[in-house]
Amino acid sequence: MPQLLLEFFSEEIPARMQKRAEEDLAKALGEKLKAAGLDAKAIKTFSSPRRIGAVIDDLPSKAADVNEERKGPRVGSPEQALQGFLKGAGLTSIDQAQIVEDKKGAFYVARIERAGRETSAIVQEIVPEIVRAFPWPKSMRSGSSDLTWVRPLHNICCVFDGKAVKIAVEGVGSEAVTWGHRFHAPEAMPVTSASDHASKLRGAKVLIEREERKTIILEQARKLCAARGLELVDDIGLLEEVAGLVEWPVVLLGDMDPAFLDLPGEVIRLSMRTHQKYFAVRDPKTGKLAPHFVTVANVEAKDGGKAIAAGNARVLSARLNDARFFWDTDRKTALDTPERREKLKKIVFHQKLGSVWDKVERVKTLAVELCAVTGADVEQVKRAAELCKMDLVTETVGEFPELQGQVGRQLYALEKGANASIAAAIEDHYRPLGPNDRVPDDKVAVTLALADKLDTLVGFWAIDEKPTGSSDPYALRRAALGVVRLILESGLRLPLFRNPVLLIRTVQTQTLAARRRGDEAIRNIINLMLKMDASEREIGAALLDLSGPAPEGESQRRDETWDEIFASNDSSVLLLRALLGFLADRLKVQLRDQGKRHDLVDAVFALGDDDLVRIVARVEALDTFLKTEDGANLLAGYKRAANILAAEEKKGKWSAEEAKGQVDAKLLAEPAEKALHEALEKALPAARAAVEREEFAAAMKALAGLRAPVDGFFDKVLVNAPEAEIRRNRLLLLSRFREALSAVADFSKIEG
């Protein structure tokens, strides 16, 4: 079958956009062809800095003929309806329509036969549409033209079945030609087919396949390194980018002044990568950076690349000289200096949330409180908190913001008696930076990372700067996911809801955000919680005490206190509830991404638990349980019981109030209902006790014992007994059953 070749030849397309553009082109082309009745089985695409294009090897030479029947109005319909039908079907007279009889009477039917259009005509129509609507991330106009494209578009080469097809779009050239390498082969070359196009370009020093360019760069780079006893530092992102910057990759190994090797490795690597797009090179024996770099040129230079390598080396030296100046300035002093503290006080974290130093102070107190949960050393956490933002005012971070944390760690590590945990915390307290970033493993780092993120979240919630839709300028979703991952992956038993530390912090931050509320807000909390007058410190202490181990008989009173607090409309409480909802959403997303059924997640969340570790344990136990036969049957039994109860409630014959009553054992007549009653008497306390011990699998197992009695009950017993007392008693049995299952999850949220 005939072949279609399409090439958009333009000025240099940004490297980061090329791959996506290939996908967008394939998609648009496929859709448009399909809509025109042409089926493209496989669309191959290509791109290089100056071109993007597509090849379809087996495109029919014309679209399929259209053969369609269109049903019209009833015979004898008003003139207006007939005219509308004729127009729509492209007929001139009603005589051209046929009359067809069916059960309902006689109708007009138009038989439309249209020969398929020539593919080249279709292409001429759809390519301009594709060009005009192409989804470049940013596009521009050039000269006096109205056309928008990523950069000026110079030619659209379109060849179908060996013949040139002219594309007319806002005056852009459309010749069946292409151009080779900008400097090696600047002349236009006629093109007759896709293979002709690719091979002529290869001869003209352009490789149109991005993957081929990547392979060549990698192979040449590794070979060059190996020849010098060196090793390339792989960098997939950089490889992708560099492959989009060259049409004819020529890899060169350059030399760097070894004196620069006393700079931190990351500084060198970043200078190379972000500013120069060089690959770093290391010594395989020591694993350390070697005084060389790999650069990818776009030209086979007359001197074999000597001038290019030397030029690049000079540019790198200038860059590293800058970096060295910064690094040397920074390391003249210890990390913590009065000057740096002063500077941090002047940097605004957020107008309403104070300076970065204010944040440091808040993070410190919060982190200290969290030590009880994380088990980190309090003194180390305090010190790490004071130091963690210090590097933001170093010269090196000013130049390389990506190195925040790392520079602090390095500077701290130079100090005498530096502690490994503190060092790790300084670097890692920003982590995890996303779903794929690692979670710190050192306790001090975990504590600080958690405190930093919780402070950010509480702060931005307090000033009402929550993420909306796609707008999340302060990366709060990332912070929330970070909190979730830190808690789960470190197995922290941190109640998020009944959490005095967070509540105190919320009050404080709100107070900071709106000072006028100050004392009043605090007093509200005092009155609410302890119903007595006390200073903030005392409240804090009292609140913290609430979360400690409960003395005998105290736990219920505590639960009630918390219930009262969280049922209140105090603005701090409302705010914290909203924030916890946001964290819960992140956890749901996380669990769904791990393939957990969303309905199970909802079923567990509906219980209102605020301990993420426990929530996940429940979801996992529930998932396992429902996969067993007992679990599936029990769920079916639950649905049946719940339906009956709901139906009775709807009829007004049953209410939640009545459901609280006790089953009267004397009224149980049928053996099946007696059996269910006995089973419930056993299972309910067993399940509750297991839940109390957080042995969710055991709780599920206790419930599994209900399966046979429940099935028996539904088989043998008529709930709607004529005697009101017996009916009531049976409804109570079902209510107990529903209640038993609710001890582990809200089964009403589970599908199936």
Partner 1 sequence: MAPHKAPRCFQDVILTLQNYWAEQGCAILQPYDEQVGAGTLHPATTLRSLGPKPWRAAYVQPSRRPKDGRYGENPNRLQHYYQFQVILKPNPPNLQELYLNSLARIGIDPLLHDIRFVEDDWENPTVGAWGLGWEVWCDGMEVSQYTYFQQVGGLDVRPVSGELTYGLERLAMYVFGVDRVYDLPFNDPDSEYPVTYGDIFLENEKQQSRYNFELSDPEMVLRWFGDAEATAARLLKESNVLPAFDYTLKASHLFNLLDARGVVSPTERQSFIARVRDLAKGCASAWAEGQS
Query: Which chain residues interact with partner 1 by CB under 8 A?
Result: 11-12, 14-16, 49, 138-144, 150-152, 154, 182-184, 245-246, 276-278, 295, 297-299, 301-303, 307-308, 310-312, 314-318, 321-322, 325, 346-348, 351
CA distance 226 to 229: 5
For residue 43, the surrounding DSSP H or E stretch is: strand 43-48
Query: How far apart are CB 357 and partner 1 at their closest, in Å?
Result: 14
How far is the CA of 273 from the CAs of 281, 316, 396, 408, 679, in angstroms? 12, 11, 16, 21, 68
Choose between 103 and 302: whose C-beta lies nearer to partner 1: 302
Pairs from 679-682 (Cβ < 8 Å, separation ≥ 24) = 679/705, 679/706, 679/708, 679/709, 680/706, 680/709, 680/733, 680/736, 680/737, 680/740
Our CB check for partner 1 shows the closer of 153 and 579 to be 153
- Least separation in angstroms between residue 575's CB and partner 1 is 24
Give 182 or 688: the residue with its C-beta nearer to partner 1.
182
Q: Give 272 or 366: the residue with its C-beta nearer to partner 1.
A: 272
Closest CA to 131 of 54, 220, 40: 54
Return the number of the residue (146 or 715) whose C-beta is nearest partner 1.
146
Closest separation between CB of residue 459 and partner 1, Å? 16
102: β partners: 105
Closest distance of CB 394 from partner 1, Å: 16
Buried b (16+ CB within 10 A) or exposed e, 65-86: eeeeeeebeeeeeeeeebeebb
SS3 113: strand
CA distance 697 to 547: 27
Using CA atoms, how far apart are residues 174 and 622, in angstroms rounded to an integer?
Answer: 63
The radius of gyration computed from the CA coordinates of the chain, to the nearest angstrom, equals: 36
Residue 90 or 304 having the CB closest to partner 1 = 304
**How many CA atoms does the CB half-sphere of 45 hold within 13 Å?**
18
CA distance 209 to 201: 11
Q: How far is the CB of 29 from partner 1 (least distance, A)?
A: 25
The distance of closest approach from Cβ of residue 205 to partner 1 in the complex, given in angstroms and rounded to an integer, is 11
In the complex, least distance from residue 167 CB atom to partner 1, rounded to whole angstroms:
17
Measured from the CB atom, the residue of 322 and 377 that comes closer to partner 1 is 322
Per DSSP, what are the bridge partners of residue 55?
5, 44
H, E, C per residue of 599-622:
HHHHHHHCCCCCCHHHHHHHHHHH
CB of 316 to partner 1, least distance (A): 7
Closest approach of partner 1 to the CB of residue 498, in Å:
37
Contact 274/257 with Cβ under 8 angstroms?
no
- State the Cα angle at 425 between 423 and 426, rounded to 5°: 65
State which residue, 245 or 525, has the beta carbon closest to partner 1. Answer: 245
Q: Which are the contacts of 368, defined by CB distance < 8 A and separation ≥ 6? A: 378, 381, 382
Report the residue number, 137 or 518, with the smaller CB distance to partner 1.
137
Taking the complex as a whole, how short is the minimal distance between the CB of residue 5 and partner 1, in angstroms?
A: 24
Handedness of CA 315, 320, 321, 325 (dihedral sign): positive
DSSP E strands, 122-278? 153-160, 163-164, 177-179, 188-190, 231-232, 250-255
Closest distance to partner 1 from the beta carbon of 467 (Å): 21
* Distance in Å from the first CA to the final CA of the chain: 50
The nearest distance, CB 136 to partner 1, in angstroms, is 10
Our CB check for partner 1 shows the closer of 301 and 378 to be 301
Q: Between residues 145 and 215, which has the closer beta carbon with respect to partner 1? A: 145
Helix (H) or strand (E) holding 358: helix 356-374
Nearer to partner 1, 30 or 180 (CB): 180
Q: How far apart are CB 218 and partner 1 at their closest, in Å? A: 19
Give the span between the Cα atoms of 314 and 327, in whole angstroms. 20
Taking the least distance from each CB to partner 1, the nearer of 66 and 307 is 307
Which residues does 143 contact at the CB level (< 8 Å), separation at least 6?
152
The encoded tokens of residue 348 equal 């605004």
